[in-house]
Structure formats: structure tokens, C-alpha cells
A and B are shown apart, each in its own frame.
Chain A
Amino acid sequence: MILQMIINGLLVGGLYASIGVSFSLVYGIMGIINLAQGTQIILGAYLTCAMVQFFHIDPFLTLPVSGFVLFCWGYAIQRCIINMVGKGGVVLTSLLTFGLNLVLINIILLIWNADFRGVNPAYAGKNFELFGATIPYVRLAVFFVAVVATVSLHWFLGHTQTGNAIHASAQNKRAAQIVGINIRHSYALTFAISSGLAGAMGTLYVILKPVSPFSGADLLMILFLVAVLGGLGNIPGALLGGVVMGLTDSFSVLCLGMQYQKIVLFLGFILVLIFLPRGFFGRRFYG
């Protein structure tokens, strides 16, 4: 049972990590707490449901489309709206993203109504046994895609010119401008990458769980926890944060029962905040 618990925790932790990274990225680079991030994930999930319904395709194939649509949305929103109040500080931008969140929820409600949506491909539920533990193929695939997306993003930020420009914008805005980096574009790109990742994670999320237009609020809590545990603005930290959260979820149920799961999680969260206020690998900027 212990091995099964570890596997459960790891598999769910991979998805937590990726959605945490998408949130953490924007804060790390731009200092913006994007309260619409949970609903952006849900929008990605709804896009997947719509594509599966209309084109009868495998939900995993919709991942690039939902990622791309949210990428474009994120770029446009940053350039046209968030950029306008970018200098207004964290309170103003948080208010703005809170408003955006409400707008997004209502857009989803208008298009798809309040019904729950989900996808259930024919292979969902298939599994294999490994040393007595049951490993579901879908969860393994979701974990794999989520980790690949996160690691690719880490590589992109560290090894490409655009990634370096994003880094530079976060470290020293004025110096970045002096060397010719278009800060507005860098910020818009950062927001777009974060939204695109959210869209892609929405696809993975809806393969596992049903969504409603209001599910974003529940996700926001996971986003905060993972990002803060790992250190806001830190990809390896968010990965570790996600996995720790998944494992804590699993073992608290085994040792204490389901009703104590959240208590244990938040107690652990408070302890991390006390002893490691910047999370596991927290730094000042993204890297």
C-alpha cells in the first residue's frame, strides 16, 4: 500500500507542479499575482471538451490547440490591458486579474453554460501492475506530458535568446532596455507562455477530472500552495512543491484519514513559510 501511495502522490504531484509553474512564472518575472490563472486552466479544459465533442479526436491531441489559443489570449490581454496598469503595483494588478477572472468565468458560462464537462477516452481507466501497485496509463501519460512541458519551459528560459531576454527583464529592467530588449514584448511573452501552459494543463486536467466554470477557484488554491512551497518564480522548486503536495495528500489519508488531508497540507505549508519563507528553492527572480 505504501508503494501505491507513493505512486499516487507522484502522479498527481506532476500535474500540480506544472500548473504551479504556470502561475509562478508570471509572478517571478513580472511581479503579478494572476488571479485569473485557475480559470485560464479551466478555459483550456473547456476548449478540449469542445474539440473532442465536435471533431471526435483524442483529448491529448487537443493540447497544442488549447495551449496556443490561451497563448494568444495571454499575449493580447497583457499588451492591451495588464500593461496599462503594470506600474500600479501588486494590489492594482491583482484587482485587475480578479476582474479578468470574473469576465472569463462569464464568457465560459455564456458559451458553455454552467454544466459540468469532462472527457472520458476509451482507454481511460486502463492500468498495469508494478510490484503490486496499480498504475493508470492516463495518469502516467498526464504526469509525463506535464513534466516534459515543465522541463521544456525550464530549458527554454535558460538556453534560448528569448528566454535570456525574459530573465534579463526580470533581473534589471533598465539594463535590459539598454541592451535592446523590448521589455513590453518580453512581459507579454511571459504572460502568454504562462497562459499557454495553463491552457495545455487544462487539457490534462479535464482528462482526469470534470470541470465547471467555477472550478478555477479551487485550482487557484493549488497554484498558490505549489508556487509558494517551491519558491515563487522557481521552476525546479515548483516541481518539488507539486510532488511534495501530492505525497502529503496521499500519506495524510493513509495515516490520519481523508478529512485531515487539507489540515495536514496547510500545517505543512505554514511550517514551510515559517522555516523557509522563500520556499524550497526561493530566489528573487525566475530561474
Chain B
Amino acid sequence: MKRVLMGKLLLVFTVSLFLLGTVAVRAHAAQDKILLGAAISMTGKFAREGGELKGGYDFWRDWVNGRGGMDVGGKKYKVEIIYYDDKSDTMTAAKLTEKLITEDKVNFLLAPYSSGIAFATSAIAERYGYITIAGAANSDALYERGYKYLFSLLPPASHDFNATADLLSRQKPAPKTVAILALDSLLTILSTDGLRNHIKTLGLQEVYYTKFPAKTTDFSAMLTVIKAKNPDLVFFGGYFEDSVPFLKQCKELNVNAKAFAFLTAPQFEDWVKILGKDGDYAFSVMYWARAMNWKGPYFDVKSFADTFQKQTGTPMRLYHAQGAAGCVLLQIAIEKAGTLNQAKVRDVLSKMDVTTFWGPFKADEKGKNIKGRIAILQVQHGKTVSVDPADPGAKVWYPTPPWDKR
């Protein structure tokens, strides 16, 4: 008797839950809102990058709502975003992504920061048939899993350093030898592995290669070995927290090269601020620079930066643009599809060949952006300028003078 009663109760409970879910989904539609969700790093090691990405999402939401919302099949929908803090932790991000899909019932997902975290969240999204436009995750391995709903805004990471090597190999006096250092992480290893293959085609000789573990802050031992090898070019595949002590210690130990090229960091204001004049001559790569001068349907490079500053009251930073660019791409696809159906929007994305303020986008069958471009930056007089494509009047500073002659 008791069992029958429990069974009935369970049935009533399940039906109620189902009805509640239906009502909730209908409520979104009835309110003419599109609900987006993002599990993003607000604290932890990626708080800075995640915070900027979120700033880009917020900007786009306010901007699109200010225009009356997104046009889907002739009807305007306002945009709302639910945020959760993934604490820069992969497992937390995966759980929160599932929560956004199954509990919050968001219409679309916005991507997290970093390839490592996107690796986990895109797997969840794929399982539920949700699109991920990764604005800040371009590790090649992400796109080698046969996923149908994952797209990259950026070009593949394995090409990151190649353009810098091309540029430097054309300089006079021509460099002959290269030292490569790689942080032992998914993205940096990909970039440096790509570079190691690429320099062979340029006739450059690799005289030193090493991986270094995460959280390394003392490079003095490694630099002593590099100094003995005396390479013409030093490529450093690491992040902000690695590259500052690395360059400081290059100066301390008087390690010179014709060029020091970094994967990322010199484009950040605080990198230049911390290193001052010592940061001059450093090369870096960026997926976006004002000199690229891309023009899109809603913004061009300049108008985006201006609108961002005007709307938010803060100067635009790189990840702001990256975040907003991912949203703009999603917006174009949704508006073109004229529906909120994930599969139909995905089909549009996979065929789309478009240029936004961020640059060209054309996905291959794996979701990699095969038209994505890279700009090469150099720190000159304490400011980061684009040298390829070149800002007006900008020229490559090469070779880098020795530390005692700067």
C-alpha cells in the first residue's frame, strides 16, 4: 500500500516538474527575451581575462538592447545574460555549463576563457546540442574532436608564432639561430610546436628548446644556458606572469638577442607599465589590432572602440573586443537563421563567410576559423604598436640593441 502511494507521489512530482519546466520555457518566449548563459572566470587565475571577456558580453547586451533587441524572424527580442563564476576551474565550469542548459534553460551559451576550460564546457554543450563560439580558446586540439557545434573566432593556435618568425626572418642582419621556450600548457606547446616546424622552412636553426612548468618565476638557470648558446632570436611561449620575470632576468643576466618574441603579454598596459623601457623592442602577436581596420555590419575597428568607451566609460581592452565579437557573430547567425533553434543557427554558422569588426570568419568542417588573421606588435617607446600590418608611420625595430646600450 505504502509503495503504491510512494509511486503515485513520485509520478505527481515528476509531472509537476515537467509542467514547471514547460511553463519556464514558455515564460522566456512570452517575455520576448533571449536568455544567454555564461560560466566565466570572475575569480581565480583567469579573473583578469574572464573579467574582460564578461565586459565584452555586457557591452554587447546593452548595445543590442539599446537598439531594441535582436531581430529573430521579424520580431525583436531583448537579451539577458546569466553569469556564473567558474573560479578559473575546469570542473566547476563544466558543472555550471550543464546547470545553465538544464536548470536555467538558456537559449544560447557564451564561451568561457581559455582553451583548457573550453575543452570541458564545449563537451557538455555538444552533448546537449548547444553552440559554442569560442572567442578566447583556439587550441587546435579543441577542434579535432569531431564536434559539430563548436566554432572558433580565432585562427588556430599552432599558427600563432609563425607570422612573427616570417617577419623576423626577413630582417637584416638576417637571424640564423633560434631559442624556443614553452610553458608546459596546451596552448603554448601547440604554438611553439607549430613554430618549431615552421622555422625549418625558413632556414633557421633551433639551438635551444625547453619546456618550463607553470608558475615558474625564476628563469636564471635556463637563461644561463641560453646565454652560452647565444641565439639570434628568442621565442617565449608563456603568459604574463612568466614573461615579466623572464625579460627582467634577461636584463639582469645580460642575455641579449636580436629579437625577443612573446606569445602574449606585451600588449597589456600593465606589462609595459611594470617593465618600462626594458619592455621596448619586445614582439608579440595579437589576433586584432587597429591597423587591421576591419569593417563589419555593425562596427568597424575604430567605431567599436569608440562606442565601447562611450557606453561603458572604460577604455576598451583586447578581451572586451573578443567577447563582443563572439556575441556579434552569434547575433548575425541567429538573425540570418531567423530562429532560436540551435541546429539551424549552427547550419548558418558553418556556411557563413563574413567579416565583422574583429575580422574575417569562415569555419572549416572542424569549426576552425580558417580566415582568421594575426597582427604582429612591438613595444616602442613604452607603447605597443602594430608593425605588421603597420600602424601609420610604424616600422620594425630590429635588431634589439644589447641591454647595456639601450
B241 is an interface residue with CB less than 8 A from chain A = yes
Binary CB contact string for chain B from 233 to 244 against chain A (1 if under 8 A, 0 otherwise): 000000011001
Pairwise interchain contact A116-B216, C-beta atoms closer than 8 A: no
Pairwise interchain contact A209-B220, C-beta atoms closer than 8 A: no
Contacts of B220 in A (CB 8 A): 8, 11-12, 250
A214 CA to B48 CA in the complex, in Å?
11
Pairwise interchain contact B47-A8, C-beta atoms closer than 8 A: no
Q: A116 and B248 in contact (CB under 8 A), knowing A5-B224, A253-B221, A259-B184?
A: no
A178 is an interface residue with CB less than 8 A from chain B = no
| A contact residues, total (Cβ < 8 Å) | 42
A261 CA to B215 CA in the complex, in Å?
12
Binary CB contact string for chain B from 31 to 48 against chain A (1 if under 8 A, 0 otherwise): 000000000000111011
Contacts of A261 in B (CB 8 A): 212-213, 216, 221
Binary CB contact string for chain A from 246 to 271 against chain B (1 if under 8 A, 0 otherwise): 00011111100111011000000000
Give chain B nearest CB distance to A79 CB in angstroms.
Answer: 30
| SS class, residues of chain B in contact with chain A | helix
A98 CA to B44 CA in the complex, in Å?
15
Pairwise interchain contact B47-A109, C-beta atoms closer than 8 A: yes
Which of A117-125, A150-158, A225-233 faces chain B? Answer: A117-125
Closest B residue to A210 by beta carbon equals B244
A4 CA to B252 CA in the complex, in Å?
12
A212 is an interface residue with CB less than 8 A from chain B = yes
**Cβ 8 A contact of B44, one of A117, A120, A214:** A214
A127 is an interface residue with CB less than 8 A from chain B = yes
B51 is an interface residue with CB less than 8 A from chain A = yes
Contacts of B338 in A (CB 8 A): none
Binary CB contact string for chain A from 3 to 20 against chain B (1 if under 8 A, 0 otherwise): 011001101100000000
B80 is an interface residue with CB less than 8 A from chain A = no
A115 CA to B52 CA in the complex, in Å?
11
Pairwise interchain contact B253-A259, C-beta atoms closer than 8 A: no
Give chain A nearest CB distance to B217 CB in angstroms.
Answer: 5
Which of B93-101, B274-282, B360-368, B393-401 faces chain A? Answer: B274-282
Contacts of B274 in A (CB 8 A): 116-120, 210
Q: A8 and B221 in contact (CB under 8 A), knowing A1-B228, A116-B240?
A: yes
Kindly identify, within residues 128 to 179 of chain B, every residue whose CB is under 8 Å from any CB belonging to chain A.
Answer: none
B270 is an interface residue with CB less than 8 A from chain A = yes
**Cβ 8 A contact of B225, one of A1, A113, A117:** A1
Contacts of B45 in A (CB 8 A): 212, 214
Pairwise interchain contact A253-B240, C-beta atoms closer than 8 A: no
Q: A258 and B270 in contact (CB under 8 A), knowing A5-B224, A209-B217?
A: no
Give chain A nearest CB distance to B320 CB in angstroms.
Answer: 15
| B contact residues, total (Cβ < 8 Å) | 38
**Cβ 8 A contact of A259, one of B211, B275, B278:** B211
Contacts of B210 in A (CB 8 A): 257-259
A134 is an interface residue with CB less than 8 A from chain B = yes
Closest A residue to B49 by beta carbon equals A114
Closest B residue to A102 by beta carbon equals B43
A72 is an interface residue with CB less than 8 A from chain B = no
Q: A116 and B218 in contact (CB under 8 A), knowing A109-B43, A253-B225, A262-B213?
A: no
Pairwise interchain contact A254-B241, C-beta atoms closer than 8 A: no
Contacts of A138 in B (CB 8 A): 252
Give chain B nearest CB distance to A13 CB in angstroms.
Answer: 10
A167 is an interface residue with CB less than 8 A from chain B = no
**Cβ 8 A contact of A127, one of B44, B48, B254, B278:** B254
A12 CA to B245 CA in the complex, in Å?
13
Pairwise interchain contact A210-B245, C-beta atoms closer than 8 A: yes
Contacts of B240 in A (CB 8 A): 116, 210
Closest A residue to B254 by beta carbon equals A134
A257 CA to B367 CA in the complex, in Å?
37
Give chain A nearest CB distance to B312 CB in angstroms.
Answer: 15
Closest B residue to A121 by beta carbon equals B276
B403 is an interface residue with CB less than 8 A from chain A = yes
Pairwise interchain contact B270-A124, C-beta atoms closer than 8 A: no
Pairwise interchain contact B224-A8, C-beta atoms closer than 8 A: yes
Greatest chain A CB density within 10 A among B44, B45, B217, B278 is at: B217
Give chain B nearest CB distance to A174 CB in angstroms.
Answer: 44
**Cβ 8 A contact of A136, one of B212, B215, B217, B253:** B253
Contacts of A253 in B (CB 8 A): 221-222, 225
Pairwise interchain contact B248-A254, C-beta atoms closer than 8 A: no
A208 is an interface residue with CB less than 8 A from chain B = yes
**Cβ 8 A contact of B276, one of A120, A212, A259:** A120
**Cβ 8 A contact of B217, one of A115, A120, A125, A218:** A218
Contacts of B276 in A (CB 8 A): 120
Closest A residue to B50 by beta carbon equals A114
Pairwise interchain contact A114-B221, C-beta atoms closer than 8 A: no
B310 is an interface residue with CB less than 8 A from chain A = no
**Cβ 8 A contact of A218, one of B215, B254, B271:** B215
Contacts of B275 in A (CB 8 A): 120
B127 is an interface residue with CB less than 8 A from chain A = no
B381 is an interface residue with CB less than 8 A from chain A = no
Kindly identify, within residues 191 to 229 of chain B, every residue whose CB is under 8 Å from any CB belonging to chain A.
Answer: 210-213, 215-218, 220-222, 224-225, 228
B28 is an interface residue with CB less than 8 A from chain A = no
Closest B residue to A137 by beta carbon equals B252
Pairwise interchain contact B225-A254, C-beta atoms closer than 8 A: yes
Among all A-B residue pairs, the 4 with the closest Cβ atoms? A125-B251, A136-B252, A253-B221, A118-B274
Q: Which residues from chain B sit less than 8 Å from chain A, CB to CB?
A: 43-45, 47-48, 51, 181, 184, 210-213, 215-218, 220-222, 224-225, 228, 240-241, 244-245, 248, 251-254, 270-271, 274-276, 278, 403
Q: Which residues from chain A sit less than 8 Å from chain B, CB to CB?
A: 1, 4-5, 8-9, 11-12, 109, 113-120, 124-125, 127, 134, 136, 138-139, 208-210, 212-215, 218, 249-254, 257-259, 261-262
